[in-house]
């Protein structure tokens, strides 16, 4: 089956069970890793089960920590999904409060008119479980349709396109540590104009420095005048020639250049491709065009403070957590799944946009109060400065107001709202074309 190489092993049990109960009234439930209701796995597994085997989800326990009885009390984040090969009424969704039961901050706990229950929790815990009924439970374990988010090449909204960073494919010859940079400049002072700061996700988040030889605009005469640089260029050529991939061997014809160049010609927004699951926000930031981003970050050229504000908001983070892939347990931000499918606010007023921009600038200003702190320091939930927390909370309120006037009481409410908006936005894109009438 196409694309199933990304699936966790537990998905095999879902397929086997669905085949076994097909055409019966038998019900099944599994404890599963929560990744099967997130990101690319949800987009592969559930269409197979829904379309081919008529499965319907009857109840779902959303993400909670499952503690092992083994020594060391290791735990993983899991879901419990109950299903059958028939539809039913009275579907139920169970939500777990606080960090012990889910990776969501306590501020996002769902409260209000919904019934609470302790006895129905699937493992013994002091945490509170919120139980709600649903007309239909989506593959993402929220109320919604059976539709899944598929990777796409362009954004569904009128926003700047996102692009991947630059791929060196150089065998390490064009990349320099700070020590290597100093040594090279001692021998080759003329190389200074071609050395640029080079950032991947690790460097961007942790304030580390690497450098690269950016020879895109170097003339042949300039290159030949730098023998130490030429040694590195020769190393690139040799590395590429020895590759088993024909495409890489072809790149040996231009050894002074990165294998893939996508550097914007203006300042841009940088998004790390991988970020810790412990952060409430993925740290992103504006970069000058002179900073070269690696293939471990993504670029949004021509981004404005409004775009920065929305992408830095809890609204966007709720969407990201639901549809992104994972690297181990860390968030893996993607262009095709996360950014290009994100439902941006529809037609915000000039006043609403100005409010988001002002509060986005306040977030940047709050960061600047701590010049010695890295983004990893600033966005660690245990060390995040109070001024930055407040600035983000104010930004969240401004972004929320662009979506609707009523506040969102929980992460799940945000996700359900965004999925409903996503379906509205994508309906024209997926509707079957009307047949043409033939001329007589």
- Check pLDDT > 70 for residue 434: no
Average pLDDT over residues 176-205: 96
With respect to residue 262, please indicate whether it lies within any of the assigned structural domains: no
For residue 127, the model assigns a pLDDT of: 61
Same domain, 242 and 273: no
Question: Do the Cβ atoms of 414 and 321 come closer than 8 Å?
Answer: no
Same domain, 275 and 397: yes
Same domain, 324 and 404: yes
Average pLDDT over residues 149-157: 93
Same domain, 61 and 122: yes
Q: Using alpha carbons, select from 357, 167, 379, 159 the residue that is nearest to residue 284.
A: 379
Q: Using alpha carbons, select from 421, 419, 416, 426 the residue that is nearest to residue 402.
A: 421
Q: Using alpha carbons, select from 97, 33, 104 the residue that is nearest to residue 277.
A: 104
When the pLDDT of each residue in the chain is averaged and rounded to a whole number, the result is: 89
With respect to residue 409, please indicate whether it lies within any of the assigned structural domains: yes
| Cα 247 from Cα 237, distance rounded (Å) | 13
- Check pLDDT > 90 for residue 85: yes
For residue 427, the model assigns a pLDDT of: 83
pLDDT band at 200 (very low <50, low <70, confident <90, very high): very high
Q: What is the pTM of this model?
A: 0.85
With respect to residue 175, please indicate whether it lies within any of the assigned structural domains: yes
- Check pLDDT > 70 for residue 431: no
pLDDT band at 325 (very low <50, low <70, confident <90, very high): confident
Same domain, 409 and 302: yes
Tokens 């899991």 locate to 78
Lowest mean pLDDT among 158-162, 220-224, 234-238, 436-440: 436-440
Domain range for 239 is 167-251
DSSP string, 411-427: HHHHHHHHHHHHHHHHH
pLDDT band at 120 (very low <50, low <70, confident <90, very high): very low
∠ CA 411-417-420, rounded to 5°: 140
For residue 71, the model assigns a pLDDT of: 64
Same domain, 212 and 273: no
Please count the structural domains in the chain: 3
For residue 122, the model assigns a pLDDT of: 44
| Cα 194 from Cα 216, distance rounded (Å) | 9
Same domain, 247 and 388: no
- Check pLDDT > 70 for residue 73: no
Same domain, 19 and 93: yes
Average pLDDT over residues 6-29: 94
- Check pLDDT > 80 for residue 435: no
- Check pLDDT > 80 for residue 108: no
Q: Count of CB atoms within 10 A of residue 60's CB?
A: 24
**Lookup: tokens for 243:** 């590759």
CA atoms within 13 A on the CB side of 25: 1
For residue 104, the model assigns a pLDDT of: 38
Same domain, 219 and 336: no
Lowest mean pLDDT among 34-43, 115-124, 151-160, 281-290: 115-124
Average pLDDT over residues 406-424: 93
With respect to residue 197, please indicate whether it lies within any of the assigned structural domains: yes
| Cα 281 from Cα 300, distance rounded (Å) | 17
Sequence-distant (6+) residues with CB within 8 A of 48 are: 1, 4, 15
Q: Count of CB atoms within 10 A of residue 45's CB?
A: 24
Same domain, 85 and 197: no
Average pLDDT over residues 166-180: 96
Sequence-distant (6+) residues with CB within 8 A of 248 are: 169, 240, 259
For residue 96, the model assigns a pLDDT of: 86
For residue 2, the model assigns a pLDDT of: 77
Higher-pLDDT residue of 74 and 291 is 291
């Amino acid at each position: 089956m196409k694309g199933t190489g990304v699936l966790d092993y537990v998905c095999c049990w879902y397929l086997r069970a669905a085949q076994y109960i097909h055409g019966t009234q038998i019900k099944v439930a599994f404890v599963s890793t929560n990744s099967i209701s997130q990101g690319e796995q949800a987009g592969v597994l559930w269409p197979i089960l829904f379309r081919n085997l008529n499965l319907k989800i009857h109840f779902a326990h959303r993400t909670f920590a499952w503690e092992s009885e083994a020594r060391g009390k290791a735990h993983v984040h899991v879901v419990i999904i109950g299903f059958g090969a028939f539809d039913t009424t009275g579907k139920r969704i169970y939500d777990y409060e606080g960090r012990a039961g889910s990776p969501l901050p306590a501020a996002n706990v769902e409260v209000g008119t919904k019934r609470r229950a302790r006895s129905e929790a699937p493992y013994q815990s002091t945490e509170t479980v919120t139980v709600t009924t649903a007309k239909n439970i989506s593959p993402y374990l929220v109320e919604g349709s059976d539709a899944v988010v598929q990777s796409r090449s362009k954004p569904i909204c009128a926003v700047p396109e996102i692009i991947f960073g630059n791929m060196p494919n150089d065998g390490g010859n064009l990349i320099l540590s700070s020590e290597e940079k100093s040594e090279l400049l001692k021998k080759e002072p003329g190389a200074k104009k071609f050395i640029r700061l080079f950032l991947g996700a690790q460097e961007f988040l942790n304030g580390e420095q690497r450098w690269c030889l950016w020879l895109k605009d170097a003339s042949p005469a300039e290159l030949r005048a730098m023998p130490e640089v030429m040694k590195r260029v020769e190393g690139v050529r040799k590395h590429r020639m020895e590759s088993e991939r024909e495409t890489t061997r072809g790149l040996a014809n231009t050894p002074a250049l990165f294998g893939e160049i996508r550097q914007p010609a203006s300042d841009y927004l940088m998004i790390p491709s991988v970020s810790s699951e412990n952060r409430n926000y993925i740290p992103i930031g504006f970069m000058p065009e002179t900073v070269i981003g690696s293939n471990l970050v993504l670029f949004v050229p021509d981004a404005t403070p409004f775009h920065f504000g929305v992408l830095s908001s809890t609204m966007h983070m709720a969407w990201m957590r639901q549809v992104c892939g994972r690297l181990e347990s860390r968030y893996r931000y993607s262009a095709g799944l996360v950014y290009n499918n994100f439902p941006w606010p529809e037609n915000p007023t000039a006043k609403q946009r100005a409010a988001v921009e002002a509060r986005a600038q306040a977030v940047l200003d709050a960061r600047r109060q701590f010049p010695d702190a890295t983004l990893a320091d600033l966005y660690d939930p245990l060390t995040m400065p109070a001024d930055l927390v407040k600035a983000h909370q104010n930004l969240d309120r401004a972004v929320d107001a662009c979506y609707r006037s009523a506040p969102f009481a929980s992460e799940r409410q945000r996700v359900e709202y965004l999925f409903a908006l996503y379906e509205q936005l994508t309906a024209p894109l997926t509707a079957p074309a009307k047949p043409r009438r033939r001329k007589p």
